[in-house]
Amino acid sequence: MQDSLRTGISFGLTSAVITTLGLMVGLHSGTHSKIVVLAGILTIAIADRGRLRVLVQRQTGMAEIKVLFRQ
């Protein structure tokens, strides 16, 4: 595995874990509702999916972002 790919994956996983834990703690502290915490996790997962596509687009040098958001 390339060093840059390994670094990117480890940074991404660390960032995802820290973001999710912060979200869980914050939402639970404010609402004490499991449904709200689960909805927040689902929301951040969907938002990060779009961010990942843009990151891949930038790293591969593709010129058109609009293609990435098609299903």
**In the predicted model, is pLDDT for residue 43 greater than 50?**
yes
Look at the chain and report how many structural domains it folds into.
1
Global pTM? 0.64
Distance CA 55, CA 58 (A): 5
Query: Residue 65 belongs to what domain range?
Result: 3-69
pLDDT of residue 71: 46
Question: Any idea what the Cα angle at residue 13 is, between residues 63 and 22, rounded to 5°?
Answer: 110
**pLDDT tens, 26-38?**
999 999 999 999 9
- Alpha-carbon distance values, 22 to 2, 4, 5, 25, 69 (Å): 30, 27, 26, 5, 27
DSSP 4-24: HHHHHHHHHHHHHHHHHHHHH
